[in-house]
Amino acid sequence: MFNSRKTGKKMKKTSPLNKPFLLGAVALLFSASGVQASSDNMHKLYQDNCASCHGSDHGGYLAPALNSETLKGRSPTALRSLIMTGSFETLMPPFYGRLSDGEIRSMVKHLQSTPKLKNPPWTIKDMKASLKVYVKDESKLPSKPTYQIDSMDDLIGVAARGKYGRGTGSKAVFINSKTHKIVGEIETGTAAHIIDFDPANERWAYVKTDTAEIFKVDLYSMKAVRSIKTGYNGPGMGVSRDGKYVMAGSFVPHNAVILNSDLEPLKVLELEGIDPDGKMVSSDSGMIIGTPYADVFAIALENAGQVWVVDLKEGFPITKIKNVGRHLHDAFLTHKGQKLMVASYDDSIVAAIDLKERKIIKKLKAGCVPHVGGGAAVKVNGRTLGFGTNFGTCDNNTVVSVWDLDKMELVKQVPVSGGTESPAAHANAPYVAVDIITKDRRARTIQLIDKKSLKVVKTLDVGGHAYFPEYSADGKYLYVSAGYAGDEVVVFDSKTLKKQASIQMESPAGIFSRGRVKYMTRGLSPDEME
């Protein structure tokens, strides 16, 4: 509910999901006369319908915080109307028909009277208790893919959210990027958020949901072999270069956990530290990255403004890099994985960090509210150019920032038609693609920036809200998620930009090529990362 435009988009109307559960919830929560529900039952209704986007603690996640402070003074009638009809510009669908009028009225009262909750615990004991094993004997899994594919690098994974962020539409969908055909699906129950691949073994992938559940997936059989819940919500996840470790972070609670490849938790890190303003804070987890450079993870502490480098050896010692910026979130690697580029939303900078020296190299000017997504970098005339998208529209100045990553300096800020969320590039493709995230028809488009001229040369309308572009591993095709009325993934020829295919799925979001494990930074060739 109430999803922000930053990450949310409207979806095509479909049949309500999970009807048996919904009817049971209604029966428990309300009498036939629709009387006021108890606080406990309203909390459950919130968790089932709202928490995956707005945060289990009412403190916000993908969408704004919903609590007595943030909704103070808001019209109950207007809030009720918004819940009923949904928000056209966001992920929030209409709840009319899914929730009764009595439920919606009671939900408004609940939200306007409930404060932000204290950060609830989720301990290593809780994690171990949540571990589920679906395939007990992995030795019986097939020794090769059970479907036709030339190379596992040709796999593209798509996080399909489903209309309400849960139900049968919530899954990880895997596509052969040579044929543009779906070769497997993993139902995740709640919205899939991120897909990461084992760099050392092509058969394994990890899928994390908005509700912080991680699925280990056998890509040969397209089966989930086990899962574990590592928190209540939070997108961060990374896999080590040798495939032996997985690290996952949470918004709720404020911690991160290191797991082995079988999803058995080994150590929990409490995320807290002195922020750039000198205050001790407990922090959400931002990006988590495993690098081909070394046996380490890097994790951003969003609120504390720190980046921690975790060595993958006995005890998992930590080096803390402080005063990186305010509100850290995403990042990308460059220079063979040795350098880390971290976006600071509130400072409008991207901080370059040397993972070998474990120190800040330089803080680079970026656009308004920089969001580098999965990152993009290209080699042009001997220079390594990095591209950064920007959510914000300061003084109506919407740009994509371009940096010389060798000299660590700003080269240009390319004017684009609106705020942007995620850049995509490939060594064999002539264009850097960016998604436009405005609240009008521009959100149906992606813009293509010529690598050499650093100018927008083409705008494509994908037919629905366009976001999270990704090139296939060979660079021949550009994949784009199209939401709103689209409910499809659209495929373009990377050179001619002609539409090649349309792949139907409910609310597609993030797109992840398995080829990323070879080049790590989208746009660089494998030899530039070795």
**Does the structure show a pLDDT above 60 at 59?**
yes
Among 23-27, 330-334, 503-507, the minimum mean pLDDT is found in 23-27
What residues pair up with 432 in beta bridges, in sequence order? 449
What would the pLDDT profile of 77-95 be if each residue is shown by its tens digit? 988 988 888 876 667 878 8
**Cα-based distances in Å from 227 to 236, 472, 474:** 16, 28, 31
Q: Give pLDDT, residue 528.
A: 58
DSSP 38: P
**Does the structure show a pLDDT above 80 at 104?**
yes
Phi-psi sector, 71: left (phi>0), alpha (psi -120 to 50), beta: alpha
Given pLDDT bands bounded at 50, 70 and 90, which one contains residue 8? very low
255, 241 Cβ separation under 8 angstroms = no
> What structural domains and CATH numbers belong to the chain?
19-113 (1.10.760.10), 124-528 (2.140.10.20)
Q: Give pLDDT, residue 448.
A: 98
Q: Give pLDDT, residue 165.
A: 83
* Contacting residues for 527 by C-beta, under 8 A, at least 6 apart: none
* Contacting residues for 179 by C-beta, under 8 A, at least 6 apart: 148
Strand runs labelled E in 111-241: 132-133, 155-160, 171-176, 181-187, 192-197, 204-209, 213-218, 223-229, 237-239
522, 426 Cβ separation under 8 angstroms = yes
Given pLDDT bands bounded at 50, 70 and 90, which one contains residue 31? very low
Element (DSSP H or E) covering residue 274: strand 272-274
Nearest alpha carbon to residue 215 among 176, 246, 184, 249:
246
Give the C-alpha separation, 193 to 209, whole Å: 5
What would the pLDDT profile of 340-380 be if each residue is shown by its tens digit? 999 999 999 999 999 999 999 999 999 899 999 888 999 99
> How many other C-beta atoms are found inside a 10 Å radius of the C-beta of residue 213?
21
Q: Give pLDDT, residue 56.
A: 83
Choose between 335 and 439: higher pLDDT. Answer: 335
Among 32-36, 232-236, 252-256, the minimum mean pLDDT is found in 32-36
Q: Which two tokens stand for residue 323?
A: 């005063």
Given pLDDT bands bounded at 50, 70 and 90, which one contains residue 527? low
What would the pLDDT profile of 141-197 be if each residue is shown by its tens digit? 999 999 999 999 999 999 999 888 888 899 999 999 999 999 999 999 999 999 999
Give the C-alpha separation, 42 to 61, whole Å: 19
Given pLDDT bands bounded at 50, 70 and 90, which one contains residue 306? very high
Q: Give the end-to-end CA distance of the chain in Å, rounded to a whole number.
A: 44
Q: Please, how many CA atoms are within 13 Å of residue 4, restricted to the half-sphere of its CB?
A: 14
Given pLDDT bands bounded at 50, 70 and 90, which one contains residue 309? very high
Give the C-alpha separation, 530 to 523, whole Å: 14
Give the C-alpha separation, 285 to 275, whole Å: 14
**Does the structure show a pLDDT above 90 at 4?**
no
Given pLDDT bands bounded at 50, 70 and 90, which one contains residue 236? very high
pLDDT averaged over the chain?
88
- Average pLDDT (292-304) is 96
Q: Give pLDDT, residue 44.
A: 87
**Does the structure show a pLDDT above 80 at 397?**
no
Q: Give pLDDT, residue 6.
A: 38
Q: Give pLDDT, residue 88.
A: 61
Given pLDDT bands bounded at 50, 70 and 90, which one contains residue 402? very high
Given pLDDT bands bounded at 50, 70 and 90, which one contains residue 49? confident
- Average pLDDT (480-499) is 90
What would the pLDDT profile of 119-131 be if each residue is shown by its tens digit? 789 999 999 999 9
Q: Give pLDDT, residue 422.
A: 92
* Contacting residues for 176 by C-beta, under 8 A, at least 6 apart: 147, 148, 149, 154, 155, 156, 183
41, 29 Cβ separation under 8 angstroms = yes
